[in-house]
Amino acid sequence: MREKDNIILIGFMGTGKTAVGKRLAQALGKKFIDTDKEIERVTGMTISQIFQKHGECRFRSEEKLALKKACSLNNAVIATGGGAVMDEENAEIMQKSGRIICLTARPEVIQKRVKRRDDRPLLHRDKSIKRIEELLKEREPYYKRYAEAFFDTSDNEHSEVVKNIIDYLEGKKHEDDQG
């Protein structure tokens, strides 16, 4: 089913997709693409500005375009937005483009990581554990459906997560693997 050798990182905001993705790409000699950064580059607006001015629908449209473009490449590590996998067309694009890895973290860790930032539109006003848990519950079935492996970033340094992912990709088991 896979047509390319990309690694696509999915998971909730604040799980480390960008930070881990950059390091993973470097370790594997692959390009790194962050779809949210690509959306900002192409539109000239931040994700928050897109949500404020045009709404979530416009953002999801831009996200689909950025994901299609990123997944058309080969030999890349692609960090996606937290909700990208909830769109069936996006999920199919990702599946054809490479291996899908999900990064996870406990809700309280996510809250700590996103609390200081104001660039998370879906948590703009409410960064409570309850809100994070609601969004996680909504997205979890999609993560489980499409990811082949899960890596918890709650208590691990980025370098350790990268090592665990590389070990997994090379066929070595890891304790987080639920796939």
Task: Classify residue 160: in a domain, yes or no.
Answer: yes
Task: Classify residue 55: in a domain, yes or no.
Answer: yes
Q: What is the pLDDT of residue 127?
A: 65
In this structure, are strands 31-34 and 149-152 parallel, antiparallel, or unpaired?
unpaired
Q: What is the pLDDT of residue 113?
A: 86
Enumerate the β-bridge partners of residue 68: none
pTM for the structure as a whole: 0.90
| pLDDT tens per residue, range 86-136 | 999 999 999 999 999 999 999 999 988 887 655 544 445 666 889 889 989
Task: Classify residue 1: in a domain, yes or no.
Answer: no
| pLDDT tens per residue, range 39-82 | 999 999 998 889 889 988 899 999 999 999 999 999 999 999 98
Q: What is the pLDDT of residue 128?
A: 81
Helix or strand run (H / E) with residue 50: helix 47-71
Task: Classify residue 77: in a domain, yes or no.
Answer: yes
CATH of the domain at 106: 3.40.50.300
What is the span of the domain harbouring residue 52?
6-169
Q: Total structural domains in the chain?
A: 1
CA distance 170 to 129: 36
Task: Classify residue 175: in a domain, yes or no.
Answer: no
Task: Classify residue 157: in a domain, yes or no.
Answer: yes
Confidence bin at 178 (pLDDT 50/70/90): very low
Task: Classify residue 174: in a domain, yes or no.
Answer: no
DSSP string, 91-151: HHHHHHHEEEEEEE--HHHHHHHHHT----GGGSS---HHHHHHHHHHHHHHHHHH-SEEE
